[in-house]
Chains A and B, each alone.
Chain A
Amino acid sequence: MQPRMVMDENKLTVYLTGEIDHHNARSIREAIDCSIQSNKPSLLRLDFSGVTFMDSSGIGLVMGRYRMMSLYGGRVRVVELPESLERIMKLSGLGALNIIGSEVHEYAE
Chain B
Amino acid sequence: MLNEMKLSFDSRSSNEAFARSATAAFITQLDPTIGELNDIRTALSEAVTNCVVHAYRDTIGKISITVTIEDGSLVTIRIRDKGCGIADVKQAMEPLYTSAPEEERAGLGFAVMQSFTDKVSVRSTVGKGTTVTLVKRLSRRVSNG
A residues neighboring B (CB under 8 Å): 19, 21-23, 25, 29, 53-57, 59-61, 63-64, 84, 87-88, 91-93
B106–A23 contact, CB under 8 A?
no
B99 at the interface (CB under 8 A from A): no
B112–A23 contact, CB under 8 A?
no
Q: How far is the CB of B102 from chain A (nearest CB, A)?
A: 11
Q: Which chain A residues border B52 with CB–CB below 8 Å?
A: 22
Q: How many residue pairs bridge A and B at CB < 8 Å?
A: 65
Q: Which chain A residues border B13 with CB–CB below 8 Å?
A: 22-23
B64 at the interface (CB under 8 A from A): no
Q: How large is the interface on B (under 10, 10 to 19, 20 to 34, 35 or more residues)?
A: 20 to 34
Chain B's interface: helix, strand, loop or mixed, by majority?
A: helix
B residues neighboring A (CB under 8 Å): 13-14, 16-17, 20, 34-35, 38, 41-42, 45-46, 49, 52-53, 96, 103-106, 108-109, 111-112, 115-116
